[in-house]
Amino acid sequence: MSLFDATPPEGADRGLAADKSRPLAERMRPERLEDYIGQEHILGPGKPLRGQIERDELSSIILWGPPGTGKTTLARIIARTTHCEFIPFSAVLSGIKEIKAVMADAERLRRLGRRTILFIDEIHRFNKAQQDAFLPYVERGDIILIGATTENPSFEVISALLSRSRVYALRGLTAAEIVTLLQRALPVLDLRGSGELLEQIAIYANGDARQAYNTLEAAAAASGGELTAEAVQDAINRKVLLYDKGGEEHFNLISALHKSVRSSDVDAALYWLARMLEAGEDRMYIARRLIRMAIEDISLADPRALEQAVAAMQAVHFLGMPEGDLALAQAAIYLSVAPKSDAAYRAMGSIRDDVQRTVAEPVPMNLRNAPTRLMKEFGYGEGYQHAHSFEDAVVDMDCLPESLAGRRYYFPSDRGVEKRIRERLEEIRRAKESKRGAE
């Protein structure tokens, strides 16, 4: 047997799904290109990589993409489809000595008319000398190199190796694609599950099929044949921050202070503040809570509220007791009489809901920098409008992900400075609409 006989015989992988000792992600690896999910931009009919595979015109390639997008699986399918010897090579465990040994065996196989695909996972972990060691063998055709990396190859792969390879960018899987993978896995786990729960797992996985499989496997272990919402939540392991109920009066008093400030009741705010000070409350704790009130309840209705609260914190730290207590009282008065707005607080709440509810889409190409030629070729920075190049420094360029385009989160109040902010936002929006209408 050759050192390279790492690819199982045709059909051998079909037994992996029944091997319950193996992780689900490993058991669910497809064997054929037709069963591979995702990456239609390079593997769809007529696309470049698919054409290379089907015509058996392989060259060295770099697969660049996020974790769990199928880089290793794709490399194995390529080897199987093109009847090449396949060996996975670890950038973490191997050095130049191991590289030379493998390359010598690959050269002997080439002379016997057998091609070798050398798959290097995490190729970015190889240093320059290790990457240089592959060059002569790639140039002579002793090996077909398939490198996989989550890092930008422009920065992590040496230029000599990069110039001899074709880079294919893999994308994070969509929620629908991951749901398809999970539906295939249900019979393997002897499990039933609703589409809603599978979609919840898919959204949580954020484009990573391996993460989705791991989550489903963990949920299956706690479900007993029927996937449940409780099991999915436990598997996802969303942490819920619980409020400490120890020392109830402590929390009752700070709640009373906060709600008095929010209600613009300056006398009640000072009363509850004095109660806390007399009880020996930590002054820095009170200062931190005043800063929170300035951010949460006043915000841009009076931007100076945050300045006053931070200044009070610094004064307490510098002066100590009892002089610093007057700084806390001054801040409480200012916050109580300041115009109130929770617009920024509500905006962030809406945004967090969307972040949890939707897949984290890649940053739009027009918002990415393109410091290298390769990145420019992939469209980085294309369509970017530099605001300072326009007379009013207002552009009609969309900056949100495509699925959230046009979404509005911040709705300023008509109180204090936020009234002027609202007027300015309306002015900006009118200018954008005018620019779009003129196109």
The structural domains of the chain, ordered by start, are 12-169 (3.40.50.300), 175-236 (1.10.8), 248-337 (1.20.272.10), 362-438 (1.10.3710.10)
Mean pLDDT score of the chain, rounded to an integer?
86
Mean pLDDT within 409-415? 90
Mean pLDDT within 178-202? 94
Pairwise CA distance, residues 343 & 345, whole Å: 5
Mean pLDDT within 262-277? 92
Q: What is the pLDDT of residue 92?
A: 63
Pairwise CA distance, residues 260 & 332, whole Å: 10
Phi/psi of residue 61, nearest 5 degrees: -135, 155
Pairwise CA distance, residues 269 & 276, whole Å: 11
Pairwise CA distance, residues 338 & 341, whole Å: 10
Residue 195 has pLDDT above 80, yes or no: yes
Q: What is the pLDDT of residue 88?
A: 84
Mean pLDDT within 335-363? 91
Mean pLDDT within 423-438? 84
Pairwise CA distance, residues 38 & 287, whole Å: 52
Q: Which residues contact 235 (CB under 8 A, 6 or more apart)?
A: 201, 215, 216, 218, 219, 222
Span of 14-28, 326-340, 401-415 with lowest mean pLDDT: 14-28
Residues 58 and 78 sit within 8 Å (Cβ to Cβ): yes
DSSP string, 194-233: -HHHHHHHHHHHTT-HHHHHHHHHHHHHTTTTB--HHHHH
Mean pLDDT within 227-249? 64
Q: What is the largest CA-CA distance in the chain?
A: 92
- CA proximity to 77, closest of 43, 112, 46, 107: 43
Mean pLDDT within 140-153? 90
Residue 2 has pLDDT above 50, yes or no: no
Residue 382 has pLDDT above 80, yes or no: yes
Mean pLDDT within 351-359? 89
Q: Which residues contact 171 (CB under 8 A, 6 or more apart)?
A: 38, 39, 41, 65, 66, 69, 207, 362
Q: What is the pLDDT of residue 282?
A: 83
SS3 content of the chain, % helix, strand, coil (to 5): 55, 5, 35
Residues 219 and 232 sit within 8 Å (Cβ to Cβ): yes
Residue 219 has pLDDT above 90, yes or no: yes
Residues 268 and 346 sit within 8 Å (Cβ to Cβ): no
Structure tokens at 332: 């409480």
Pairwise CA distance, residues 385 & 398, whole Å: 10
Residue 148, helix vs strand vs coil: strand
- In 58-184, at which residue ranges do the beta strands (DSSP E only) sit? 61-64, 85-90, 116-121, 144-149, 166-169
Pairwise CA distance, residues 40 & 69, whole Å: 12
Q: What is the pLDDT of residue 44?
A: 93
Residue 258 has pLDDT above 90, yes or no: yes
pLDDT digit string (tens) for 71-113?
Answer: 999 999 999 999 998 988 876 666 677 777 878 778 887 888 8
Q: What is the pLDDT of residue 7?
A: 44
